Amino acid sequence: MKLIEAIIKPFKLDEVKDALNEIGIEGITVSEVKGFGRQKGHTELYRGAEYVVDFIPKVKIEIAVADELVAKVVETIENTAKTGRIGDGKIFILSLDEAVRIRTGEKGDEAI
Amino acid sequence: MIQRCIKLLVALMLLVTPLTVLAEENATSAAPATVSVQTPAPAAAPAPVAAPAAAAPEAAAKNVEPVLNTGDTAWMLVSSALVLFMIPGLAFFYGGMVRQKNVLSTIMHSFVAMGIVGVQWAVVGYSLAFSSDLGGLGFVGGLSKALLNGLISFKDGNPVYALFQNVPTAPGAIPEYVFAMYQCMFAMITVALISGALAERVKFSAYCVFVLLWTTLVYDPLAHWVWMADGWLFKKGALDFAGGTVVHLSSGISALAFITFLGKRHGFPQERMAPHSLPLTMLGVGMLWFGWFGFNAGSAIVGVNCSDAAGGLAGLAFATTTIAPAAAGLSWMVAEWIHAGKPSALGFGSGIVAGLVVITPAAGFVQPGAAIIMGLAAGVVCYLGVLMKAKLKYDDSLDAFGVHGIGGTFGALATGIFATVGATGLLSGNFQQFVTQVIAVVAAAAYAFIVTLAISFVLDKTIGLRVEKEDEIMGLDQTQHSESAYN
């Protein structure tokens, strides 16, 4: 099992969600996050003063998947979240030791 | 880029100048009934036009027995309420521009001025500004109208209300209570304007004492100088239709004086101190513009004909108060677009306020063509004024000096250039009027600056002007008022 964390541009969220649904992913967790990568921040103007805002709003998606689905999920996110411009985001793949469905007590792949 | 802007503006002014002169010539034939001084007579000619208190009621009684004009009275009551509405407008305008931790304290700076000045004005303020001169120097009024004394008397047990009549020969008048309250609103907002420079670091107790001292020692004498029949600047013929010198220049310059003792906010200018709620600020701009119609169109009572308080002159002032800020909002926006790359909402809103400031002294003295030029210039001049802060590194938190000080100065001078209605300015060949305006600006600015420096110095040495560093970082809402704006 793996936990896939993808940081993407907020406006791509719906597209990515629909694409993941199509390949059979049933559950995702989404959070609004802020950060910066090579894109760095942006500037805001107030009365002639320019402020550099370091952190840019992004969306983080977390998906727990069985090992055999990892490649497909990553590929799907990569394809749908891509604009080709700087700031498209990152995908991280983490090892997942265990998963438990609270309602039934199922564990491992069954719980995902 | 800035140079290109200035060149464009100068070219525009040169283009429109002949039109203005032409318009002025036409105005002689199609002059509104209110205009009595049309010839470009120098020096003394504009004098009777300029003052709101052109003749005290007692003087008026010598000529024509004043008759209450209910239409004028109704408009002046509405105007007074409109000017009061500017103060919550200012509170929102400033409140949105500070950081979240200081919004309530900033709003309080405007509101508490209503409280303190509301009482001060009734007790001594009105008398110091608008009663007969003390000592004959044209500097300040006496205490004959302290506690609004003499505005009401009783005959056979029935109340008799004193009437304020601007021009002795005009039949129309309004109750003096109405005039006193109308002027009270001006005093309230003027000191509140200064708070824009002090925001986010001033001690509330020191601010409250400052409001009382400043209004008494600076505002009241200045109002007497410029608007009272025996004030020395009034006698010189200085033009100030609705408070360019008395309200905006004095508050803006005083703001600069105050912050020399107050010092910069911790973290300024490196730390990001962006406005926490621009919608609040834009709401404030809208309220200010709305209230400003009372400020400027209400000031038609200062005109040549008191019975015209709700007449043609008020109409002209209403028109210029619509046109100039519209033009100034656009010119600030364009200047910022060219200079910084994007047109910000705060920039457009600030431009509107700058236009309102600049047209204030001129509202009833210029025609719409000149109002457009003054507005267009106002946006650029005040934008440059605000940029100056970043260059010179003084911390005028919300640009009270940049917008009101510089805008007020520019407006007062521009009035001496563009005046064509009821007075003539430089473009109509009246060089003397321009000189008078320069004298008024320099005198008012120097007086406001020096007295404010003295008040600030004394407060700094006694109460202390600013909060502790720890309190400033925590925010004034918590440390000064034990409240928070958003829970």
For A85-109, what is each residue's pLDDT tens digit?
Answer: 999 999 999 999 999 999 999 999 9
- E strand residue ranges, B109-178: 152-155, 158-161, 163-164, 172-175
- For chain B, the distance separating the N- and C-terminal CA atoms, rounded to the nearest angstrom, is 44
The residue assigned the tokens 């008012």 is B444
B307-359: per-residue pLDDT in tens? 578 989 999 999 999 999 999 999 999 999 999 999 999 999 999 999 999 99
pLDDT at B14 exceeding the cut of 60: no
Mean pLDDT, rounded, for B258-272: 93
* CA nearest to B345 within chain A: A46
pLDDT at B22 exceeding the cut of 80: no
pLDDT at B122 exceeding the cut of 80: yes
A63-80: per-residue pLDDT in tens? 999 999 999 999 999 999
- Of the listed ranges B39-53, B62-76, B184-198, B437-451, the least confidently predicted one is B39-53
pTM (2 d.p.) = 0.84
Positive or negative CA dihedral for A82, A85, A87, A90? positive
pLDDT band at B3 (very low <50, low <70, confident <90, very high): low
pLDDT band at A50 (very low <50, low <70, confident <90, very high): confident
How high is the ipTM of this complex? Answer: 0.71
* CA nearest to B399 within chain A: A47
Q: How far apart are CA B312 and CA B326, in angstroms?
A: 21
Residues of B with CB under 8 A from a CB of A: 269, 272, 274-275, 336, 339-340, 342, 344, 346-347, 350, 383, 386-387, 389-390, 399, 402
The C-alpha of A53 sits at a distance from chain B's nearest C-alpha, in angstroms, of 8
pLDDT band at B47 (very low <50, low <70, confident <90, very high): very low
CB contact under 8 A, B350 and A53: no
Q: How far apart are CA B56 and CA B228, in angstroms?
A: 8
CB B194 within 8 A of CB B144: no
Mean pLDDT, rounded, for B159-169: 84
Classify B475 in phi/psi space as left (phi over 0), alpha (psi -120 to 50) or beta: left
CB A100 within 8 A of CB A41: no
Q: Among B206, B189, B333, B323, which Cα is nearest to B262's?
A: B206
* Residue B84 CB-density burial (10 A; 0-12 exposed, 13-18 middle, 19+ buried): buried
* CA nearest to A45 within chain B: B344
pLDDT at B188 exceeding the cut of 90: yes
CB B99 within 8 A of CB B484: no
pLDDT at B206 exceeding the cut of 70: yes
- Which tokens belong to B273? 């101190």
pLDDT at A45 exceeding the cut of 80: yes
At B180 the pLDDT is: 97
Q: Let me know how many helices (H) and strands (E) chain A has, helices first.
A: 2, 6
Q: How far apart are CA B8 and CA A109, in angstroms?
A: 71
CB B96 within 8 A of CB B281: yes
At B234 the pLDDT is: 92
Mean pLDDT, rounded, for B7-31: 41
Average pLDDT, chain B: 88
pLDDT at A10 exceeding the cut of 60: yes
The residue assigned the tokens 């007969």 is B132
At B45 the pLDDT is: 34
Mean pLDDT, rounded, for B386-390: 91
* Residue B174 CB-density burial (10 A; 0-12 exposed, 13-18 middle, 19+ buried): buried
B462-481 CB burial, b ≥16 within 10 A, e <16: eeebbbeeeebeebbbebbe
pLDDT at B42 exceeding the cut of 50: no
